[in-house]
């Protein structure tokens, strides 16, 4: 049974529950932007550059058929597009469309603000220590860069109307 009285949890329990907490915040932010969580993740991954389908599948942990469906649905929404791969004329890369680029920036900033707010009760030294430990964990485990680093996230970002309105 999970400890709810403030006692320290085991590392496994704390990490799994923290993952659920971040996932819930990410899902809520996605809903506010009329996106599924997977569409939000896809847009955030594509912020840095276009990727081939194989690269995206590995980064997002999706099977080929699941990724194809995700890209198809997101493309129908006008948020991504398939572009020729300049290094291989037989292949395509998935890139943000102009509309996707407009949607992803405020979505990303708002999601960062919400996730960062989870640490609101921690002191600056505690936040720094947590960031350092989590950074080491993801680097040591070679977690793909699925969420880019920004210098500063504004404290508040207006939630835009949904893409379909």
Contact 56, 42 (CB under 8 A): yes
Q: What is the mean pLDDT of residues 13-29?
A: 93
Query: Rounded CA gap, 67 and 76, in Å?
Result: 14
* CB-based contact 90:98 (threshold 8 Å): no
Closest CA to 42 of 85, 87, 72, 19: 72
Residue 11: the pLDDT is 92
Beta bridge partners of 81: 95
Convert the pLDDT of each residue in 39-98 to its tens digit. 999 999 999 899 999 999 999 889 999 999 999 999 999 999 999 988 888 889 999 999
Cα separation values, 136 from 15, 139, 143, Å: 14, 5, 10
pTM recorded for the entire structure: 0.79
Domains of the chain, first to last: 11-115 (1.10.10.10)
Looking at residue 5, its pLDDT comes to: 65
Mean pLDDT of 3-13: 81
Query: Can you read off the two tokens belonging to residue 78?
Result: 């006008």
């Amino acid at each position: 049974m999970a400890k709810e009285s403030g006692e320290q949890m085991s590392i496994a329990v704390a990490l799994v529950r923290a993952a659920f907490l971040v996932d819930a915040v990410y899902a809520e932010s996605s809903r506010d932007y009329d996106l599924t969580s997977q569409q939000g993740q896809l847009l955030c991954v594509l912020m840095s550059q276009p990727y081939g389908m194989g690269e995206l599948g590995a980064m997002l942990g999706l099977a080929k058929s699941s990724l194809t469906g995700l890209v198809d649905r997101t493309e129908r929404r006008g948020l991504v597009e398939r572009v020729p791969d300049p290094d291989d004329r037989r292949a395509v890369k998935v890139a943000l469309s102009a509309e996707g680029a407009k949607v992803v920036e405020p979505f990303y900033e708002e999601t960062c603000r919400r996730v960062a707010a989870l640490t609101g009760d921690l002191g600056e030294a505690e936040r720094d220590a947590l960031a350092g430990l989590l950074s080491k964990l993801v680097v040591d485990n070679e977690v793909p860069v699925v969420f880019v680093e920004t210098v500063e996230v504004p404290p508040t970002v207006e939630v835009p109307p949904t893409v379909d309105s």
